[in-house]
Structure 1
Amino acid sequence: MISSAFAAALAARRNAFNQRVRDAQRHYPAFRTDVLQRFLADEVDGVVAAVDPARAGAVADAAVDVALALVGRALVGPAARAGTPAAVWRTLLPRYADLVAKYPDTVPAMLTNAAIHLDTLPGVRGADWIAQLAALAPRTATVDELRVVGQVAAWRAGAAHFRAGAIAAADALPAALALAAFGAHDDDAWPDLRARIAADPWWAADGADVAAGHEVGGFTGFGGAFAAPPEVRAGADGFVVRAGERCHLLLADAYGAVLLATTPGEFDRAVPGGAVQVDARRIAPDLPADGLAVCASGSTLALTSPYTHAIRVLPRVPR
């Protein structure tokens, strides 16, 4: 059963909605009406029911357009590879009901598209992003604020390449909201916190345990990124990795590590790591000593071995 508000909105626009469904069936060969019905009932209904009843029709109108695209592209339902887009509708949008009611053509699509993008980034934790944004809903008053806290939350969910942009964008937030977005205490000073975060990518305002670092890569035959054991060099903003015929930029910080495509020329211009003295007891690799290599870039270490397709990244200074 769907709510009376959503049922009324659908009934008032029945002919137009039915035509949109027929158009979607022609546009998307794998479109499934049963998946659409479940998504409307299980996810969209809660959003429509949460908004001001006077805006329910406009919200339903915009929501159906997004739902048709999600179902047509198999981004929701049993064929979906990840659940973050559905969680946006089930968990986030009802909490942002006031913004959804004011901007039904903007807010649902913005958060849905962000979720779709995050799901394409290996290692990024969509559930963490959802949880952070849900917690910030009572403090977030505008679409611009939501856009910024979404960027910060994505970085803290593992999208390390968002770090610099998230820090800069947070300057536009009210200080209290900026502190909350970074997981800091309300009585902290934003300028001081900002300076510390900018200076040390491995410092986390929320006290996250970063000592063990992160593991990235893995063998392509098991769904990983590397066809061969990777070779790592220090780059200007992180590490440049060559594995087989493919090269990647590796960025890492307190919250995660990401691999981005780059060119062989970038690898050739990068600096070989050389010998780096570290405390072996802290790294404690479960790998043979033969061929074990540690490369340093700024405040980060990258550990590689010819016996693994993975790279371990961790803070250079013990935490």
Structure 2
Amino acid sequence: MISPAFASILASGRAQFNARAVEARRRFPSLDMGAFGVFLHDGVDPLVAAVAAIAPERAGGATLAAYDMALELVGHGLAGPAAKNSFLNTVWRELAPSFTPLLATAPVDVLGMLSNAAVHIASVAGARPAQWQRELAAVAPQVGSVAQLRAMGQVLAWRAGVAHFRQGALAAADTLPPALALAAFGEPGAHWPQVHAQLLDYPWRGNAEGREFGSFTGLGGDFGTPPQVRATKDGFIVRSAERHYLLVADAYGAVLHSASAQEFEQAQTGTPASVRLDGATLQIGARRIDLDVPAGDIAIAANAHTVAVTSPWTHAIRLLPLA
């Protein structure tokens, strides 16, 4: 059963909603109206009920916006029970109602932003969509505009593992009120310019252990053969078999993009004097790290902030903070 508010709006505008559905079926011949009905119940109804509870005069406009967007999302196979990834369904049902005041005034902008973000973060291997949803819901009471929502969504996507968002997320965070920016990083009471400067200067802030990335494609991983790595200013160019990638990593996550053989050849091969390999022990300044691979043929590459360790005995790349 749908809420009385949603049922009333659908009944009063039946001809209009039916016409929209007919047009959508023309645009999306594979549109499953049964799946659309399920999404209306599970994804749209919670939004309409939430808006009707605080601004009943705006519930009709919010319903129309949500209905049109739902038709398109289900038509593209992005929402509904047959969606390739169910995260967008969860965002509409559980996260979007957290922003009811914004939904009441700007439903197209809010739902469009949340939907695009949900689809993107769910598509990034290694990202943590549930974390993004949880942290965005936690700051919802402090978000007072669509612009702030967009900025917070980007910042928290970075924190949830979308590593290549780092520069854009820091720029977006600077547009927020300092208290809201600090809330995104769980550091209330800190001094935002200082936190921002530290985040900008050191990608591994808050993570002294680094991370391991990659595994064998036969087990669902990224690399067909043990990878070779060379450094660039912002990441590492990786070669595995005949394929090349750009690996971007920081304290929050690691993301792999396509790259070229030429980029691999042009990347750096040296390491700083502070980084030294002694058998299977890596020394970074005063730190000594025992590597869990056999000594011999271990390779290291480093840029200004990260050391990458590879070995012909593993498909994983170990990434360690240089500081």
Work out whether the TM-score is over 0.5: yes
1:97 aligned to which of 100, 103, 108: 100
1:272 aligned to which of 260, 269, 272: 269
Q: Which amino acid aligns with 1:256?
A: G
Output aligned runs, 1:125-204, within 5 Å: 125-185=128-188, 187-204=189-206
Output aligned runs, 1:219-238, within 5 Å: 219-238=216-235
Gap change, CA 1:234 and 1:91, over 3 Å in 2: same
Q: How far did residue 136 of structure 1 move? A: 0.9
Gap change, CA 1:5 and 1:254, over 3 Å in 2: same
Moved more, 68-77 or 252-261: 68-77
Give 3-state SS (helix, strand or coil) of 1:272's partner: coil
Which residue is equivalent to 2:90?
87
Q: Is 1:294 matched up with 2:291?
A: no
Q: How far did residue 274 of structure 1 move? A: 5.0
Output aligned runs, 1:54-69, within 5 Å: 54-69=57-72
For residues 92 and 288 of structure 2, what CA distance do their matches in structure 1 show? Answer: 43
Which residue is equivalent to 1:261?
258
Which residue is equivalent to 2:319?
313
For residues 69 and 250 of structure 1, what CA distance do their matches in structure 2 show? Answer: 34
Q: Deviations over 1:203-259 (max 9, x none)?
A: 13xxxxx34432323233333222222110010111111122222111111110111
For residues 260 and 247 of structure 1, what CA distance do their matches in structure 2 show? Answer: 9
For residues 264 and 95 of structure 2, what CA distance do their matches in structure 1 show? Answer: 41
Instruction: Identify unmatched segments of 5+ residues in structure 1.
Output: 205-209
Q: Name the Cα RMSD after superposition.
A: 2.0
Q: Which amino acid aligns with 2:6?
A: F
Q: Deviations over 1:47-96 (max 9, x none)?
A: 11111211111111111122112222222334333232112211221010
Give 3-state SS (helix, strand or coil) of 1:259's partner: strand
Give 3-state SS (helix, strand or coil) of 1:96's partner: helix
For residues 29 and 212 of structure 1, what CA distance do their matches in structure 2 show? Answer: 51
Which residue is equivalent to 1:28?
28
Which residue is equivalent to 2:279?
none
Gap change, CA 1:219 and 1:273, over 3 Å in 2: farther
For residues 271 and 283 of structure 1, what CA distance do their matches in structure 2 show? Answer: 23
Q: Deviations over 1:12-66 (max 9, x none)?
A: 2222222332333343344222221121111211111111211111111111122
Larger Rg: 2
Give 3-state SS (helix, strand or coil) of 2:72's partner: helix
Which residue is equivalent to 1:50?
50
Structure 1 length-normalised TM? 0.90
For residues 212 and 189 of structure 1, what CA distance do their matches in structure 2 show? Answer: 25
For residues 4 and 306 of structure 2, what CA distance do their matches in structure 1 show? Answer: 55
Moved more, 299-308 or 102-111: 299-308
Q: Is 1:240 matched up with 2:237?
A: yes
For residues 69 and 211 of structure 2, what CA distance do their matches in structure 1 show? Answer: 35
Identity score, percent: 51
Moved more, 132-141 or 81-90: 81-90
Q: Is 1:304 matched up with 2:307?
A: no
